[in-house]
Chain A
Amino acid sequence: MTAPALKAVGLTKRYGRHHALSDCTLDIPAGRVVGLVGPNGAGKTTLLQLAAGMLAPTAGTIEALGGHPASGADQLAKVGFVAQDTPTYANLSIADHLRFGAHTNPGWSQATAEERIAQLGLDPRQKAGKLSGGQRSQLALTMAIAKRPELLILDEPVASLDPMARREFMKALMGFTADDKASVILSSHLVSDLERVCDYLVVLVASRVQIAGDVDDLLAGHFRLTGPRRELAELPGGVDVIEESHTERQSTLIVRADVPLDGGSFTVEKLTLEDLVLAYLSKAMPARPAWESTR
């Protein structure tokens, strides 16, 4: 049994009195492509930086691939991390970056790195400072992939990219997950970025994990119920209401159900991943604008 990609118990990070991450417990199996979704400021970056060992927790524990994050060269070699702003050295060339990677990583694959740079149509002599945002992200991803980590962590990798660069980036990422049997965790505030690549989802809102699980399981276990208002009040056991909205005569519920739902007098619909995430977002954000709340 391989160690989980990420295991957190009661993980908390505070800055003064501000909670960036509260009591987060996760157990993400290895070999998955994990999407971490949540609005801006939910604590996604904090969680990923804790996993990469860039930050130390205030309370609780976190392990990546069974090891303490950034605890030593071995652990660092196993985990690749691309920070949100995809930093590169502006005055150094692409070739210098690759040489840096080759000098500092035991598992480095120079062939992989050079091949990717060639595929991107980049000149290795070009200074990183002269690259576009998309190209810099690609360089940072190239370095992380050529390091050949067992776990690759990407913090909002496509947030600053245009749609074209976004697609290229995701294509490159999928190529990586297909080739190496590695685990990937990537964050975004848009479900649509993640939908096509992820098979595991973590929803983080207001510093807390709302739900985490296999995408298929999540989709199989959540439903939208629509029906006459009164009858929906009598729901069978094992059904949790995530979100509800009502009109005079009709109610719509989004529920999580571990048991098969009997249709009865209301209709049962499957949810899209986006609907599912939105339901958890609105559940966890009490300070919704008035016009958004139903009635």
Chain B
Amino acid sequence: MIWFTWRQLRAQTVLAAAALAAFGVLLFVTALLVTDLYADVAACTSDCDGVTKAFILRFNSSAAFTAHVIALAALYVLPALIGIFWGAPLIAREVETGTHRLAWNQSVTRTRWLVAKLTVGGALAVAATGLLSLGLTVWAQRIDSASQDRINPLIFGARGIVPVAYALFAFLLGATLGMLIRRTLPAMATTLAVYVAAAAAMPLWVRGYLVPSRHDTIPLIAESIHGMSISGDTGAIEVFGDGVANAWTVSNRTITASGATFTGPADPAVCGMEGVPAKCHEWMASLGLRQDLLYHPDSHFWSLQWAEAGVLIGLAALLAAFCFWWIRHRIV
């Protein structure tokens, strides 16, 4: 059964392997370029901030930057592709063309048939995303340590073990929807829609709560005012302070001494249309305002990775359990 499942997925696996190999070449070539650019930082022994900043600037205008963007995109797209092209047709195509009636009348129970399908497909999904994520994580080590933003949601999702968990989840999501919808194309479309919704919901509403975030309240100083918006009619004002460096700021409110969110009103003399921004900032800094911050420092990176991967693998396991139940009790 394992052999047969592999035989069914062989053509797509060869295609995926070829794409991965091409990516390997791209990463290898640009890795040499990054090593080159990084030479100054590597040689630096003390007071390296300037050298590091220069490295980031040079990296951002090099071909390696483009390669990084492509690799990030690939790691976001790959799990979706796996869900659509490996997951959704896995059962749907068999049921749609009636071949499940051939397969289920060999001397193999439906359960074993499904075990083989999910194992082979799941292993391929894990291998493909695992290799790509490992490659990029290693490739980007110097960039991540210099720019210190690997916990930033966009980068976070394309590093470490999280992409593997997304791929596994997408694969089982596709397989489950295919089993329920029983037609390949609608199953693929639904898989795409549900996966995109889930993948977007995760950083927006879930990730921040997986590990308790750190809570700090610091005085708002003029230099850390990042921006503000003032309503011309009411003088209501919203002030945005800087986020925390080398961290993912989940929530950032400007509060008054009593703890309420600061809403103004602004002093029209310094902050109105005729005001000078620097004066306005000084005025605000004099009000004794504070920044109320919820954030995940870089040290939370791996605990967040494991927590998010755990959630996704748990969902994948639930979907798999549902598939086994359904295929034994419901499907014809």
Contact = CB atoms under 8 A, between A and B. Distances in A.
B102 interface: yes
Contact of A104 (B106, B110, B329, B332): B106
Nearest to A56: B329
Interface residues of A, number: 35
Q: Bin chain B's interface residue count.
A: 20 to 34
Contacts of B147: none
Contact of B104 (A54, A77, A143, A144): A54
Nearest to A96: B7
A83 B102 contact: yes
A89 B108 CA distance: 17
A144 to B, nearest CB: 8
Nearest to A72: B109
Interface in A248-271: none
Contacts of B275: none
Interface in A142-182: 143-144, 147
A73 B1 contact: no
A80 B105 contact: yes
A191 interface: no
B9 to A, nearest CB: 12
Nearest to B101: A83
B107 A105 contact: yes
B109 A88 contact: no
Contact of B105 (A52, A103, A106): A52
Nearest to B1: A104
A88 B332 contact: no
Contact of B107 (A49, A88, A104): A104
B60 interface: no
B1 A88 contact: no
Nearest to B11: A91
A42 interface: no
A96 B108 CA distance: 17
Contacts of A81: 101, 105
Contact of A103 (B4, B8, B97, B332): B4
Query: 10 shortest A-B CB distances, which residue pairs?
Result: A87-B98, A77-B107, A104-B106, A83-B101, A81-B105, A105-B107, A87-B99, A76-B107, A104-B108, A87-B102
Given A55-B332, A76-B109, 19 more contacts: A52-B105, A54-B105, A56-B329, A70-B110, A74-B107, A76-B104, A76-B105, A76-B107, A80-B105, A83-B98, A88-B99, A88-B102, A89-B102, A90-B97, A92-B7, A99-B4, A100-B7, A100-B106, A104-B1
